[in-house]
Each structure stands twice: as structure tokens, then as C-alpha cells.
Chain A
């Protein structure tokens, strides 16, 4: 067990409207090399092209699993920033837990900058439904979409 004060990190990230604080504290997000970014105030996520995320070296294309992981962490961080987890849980904030995840791979993700944005489609008392979009070059050039359910609090 490591020293990890999640409630403190969470409040710090929300008070400063800075999702990068959360990403810096999640080892798997660091492993993928992803970053948070704000474009006109809206949170999205950036995955730089890293050799460690390549799946098919012939094209070359990013690994579908790396893209899946990128989307999954993006949705977690988006939920944490978007929803007041403390209000929902009524206790200390917790990291949302994925229940199910469904990805459509629309085209190969080339070995270049990749972006993701998320939308909370529905928030219930215990669950949230999140839509995730991944694109390259321009936001209308979707390379993958996903929907997922998370348990909150």
C-alpha cells in the first residue's frame, strides 16, 4: 500500500480546474503517456505517439488495446472532473469503477497525435453512462467511439 491521498488530489484538481493533477497521480495513465488539455475551457485528452503503444508496426498503427485504455482512463477522469463525486457518494470521493465498456474501432489509429473527448450521457444515483470519442487530425475524423457504464462513489 502506498501513500495516496485521493480525496486531497481530487479536491485540488477540481478547485484548480486541472485534470492533469489526477492524471499525474494515476500510474496507468502515466504508462500510456496521456495528458489532459483544455480547449476553450472544455476538457479533452491527448495521447502523443509513443512506440510503446504501437500494435501493428507495418502500417504503423496504435494498438487497439492502448486506445481502449486511453478511452477508459479518459472517461474516469472526465467523470471525476465533471461530477461532484463527494456529493454523489456522500462520503470520501472514490475513483469510478468500470462496469462495462463497448468500443467500435472505426479506422486504424495511425502513429500520430490522438485525442479523446467524453460526454456524460446519463447520470443516475449509482451509475453513469459515458460516451467517448477518439479522433486524429480533426475532431470529425473519428477513429473510435465507445460507450461505458461506471459505478460512482
Chain B
């Protein structure tokens, strides 16, 4: 079956709505949009991800997991057969903290694709998109995927 962006989006969204297992599911991530080279992902606030129970501020690590996943979805839209690629490296700058009780939003875009690397960048914010709490750069190494390989992977999780 030939993959296109529309099919990838439909497949990913329907998989997500029926409940994802693995780390994606345990974080409770919600994909908000998938476009060519772009993706949005929400992390609903959850006390399990808190670093300091007195303040309710989220751990830096869970923000890393959020941006890694968001950038991975964006990267898949530019990869052969819409497959997911392994993360080569990730750099995140925390300009602020994720405050208690508020959903954390991530947005990612592919800014360049070469034969060996898919370059992505993302930002994280809570209430104000113009005031991000984190920026990130994430590079992926595209691997040759058979058609629907990544989707088969998602099937296996469900």
C-alpha cells in the first residue's frame, strides 16, 4: 500500500485514539496535528511527572521525552514510507519550568533533510506560545523502512 501524508495522519491519529501502549501511552501524549514536516504533541499535566511535590513543577526529563517524540513524528513525515527513525542526538534548553496543573504543548518542524540526517527543531510552551519554556534540536538518522513498517510497530503496541 502506498503511504501518503493523509493516510499516515489518519493511521497515527486512530491508533492514538484507541490507546497507545509503551512510553507514548504511559505519558498520555496527545497528538494535536500532523502536517508535512510538522507535528504538535500535548502532554496533559499529571502528578506522576512531577519533580518536586511541593511545587508541582514537572521534571525536565519528561519535557525531553515530549520533544523527542514530537520531533520524531515530524521527522516521519519526511522519511521514506513515513517510517520512524532512531534519534541520533538531542539538545534541549530550558528557559522556564512547566508549571503545575497546565497542559504542556510541543511543536516540531523539520528544517532540513539530507541523505543521512533529518534535522528537526521544536519548542515547548504552556499558556503562551510566544513565551516558550524550552527549545530543542533533535537529529534523526533515517533508516530504510518497508512500507507500513512503522505502522506495524504501532499495531503491535495496541
Residues of A at under 8 Å CB distance from B? Answer: 1-2, 4, 6, 25-28, 30-32, 51-58, 62-66, 68-73, 76, 95, 97-105, 108
B26 within 8 A of A: yes
B89 within 8 A of A: yes
**A62 CB contacts on chain B under 8 angstroms:** 23
**A31 CB contacts on chain B under 8 angstroms:** 26, 48-49
- On whether A99 and B94 interact (CB within 8 A), knowing A51-B22, A65-B65, A65-B69, the answer reads yes
Question: For this complex, into which size category does the number of interface residues on chain B fall?
Answer: 35 or more
Measured in the bound complex, the distance between the Cα atoms of B21 and A88 in whole Å is: 42
Measured in the bound complex, the distance between the Cα atoms of B36 and A96 in whole Å is: 38
Measured in the bound complex, the distance between the Cα atoms of B32 and A103 in whole Å is: 26
Measured in the bound complex, the distance between the Cα atoms of B53 and A46 in whole Å is: 23
**A30 CB contacts on chain B under 8 angstroms:** 48
* A54 and B21 within 8 A (CB): yes
Stretch among B9-17, B55-63, B107-115 lining the A interface: B55-63
8 closest residue pairs by CB, A with B? A65-B65, A69-B61, A72-B61, A63-B23, A28-B59, A98-B60, A52-B26, A68-B64
**B130 CB contacts on chain A under 8 angstroms:** none
Measured in the bound complex, the distance between the Cα atoms of B27 and A66 in whole Å is: 10
* A58 and B49 within 8 A (CB): no
B86 within 8 A of A: yes
25 contacts between A and B (CB under 8 A): A1-B54, A1-B55, A4-B52, A26-B59, A27-B49, A28-B62, A31-B49, A51-B21, A52-B26, A54-B22, A55-B24, A56-B84, A63-B69, A64-B68, A64-B86, A65-B27, A65-B64, A66-B65, A97-B97, A100-B91, A101-B92, A101-B94, A103-B64, A104-B88, A108-B86
* B93 and A69 within 8 A (CB): no
Q: Which of A25, A64, A71, A103 has the most CB of B within 10 A?
A: A64
- Which single residue of chain B is at the shortest CB-CB distance from A72? B61
* B51 and A100 within 8 A (CB): no
- Which single residue of chain A is at the shortest CB-CB distance from B97? A97
CB distance from B22 to the nearest CB of A (A): 4
Measured in the bound complex, the distance between the Cα atoms of B75 and A64 in whole Å is: 15
**B89 CB contacts on chain A under 8 angstroms:** 102-105
CB distance from B90 to the nearest CB of A (A): 5
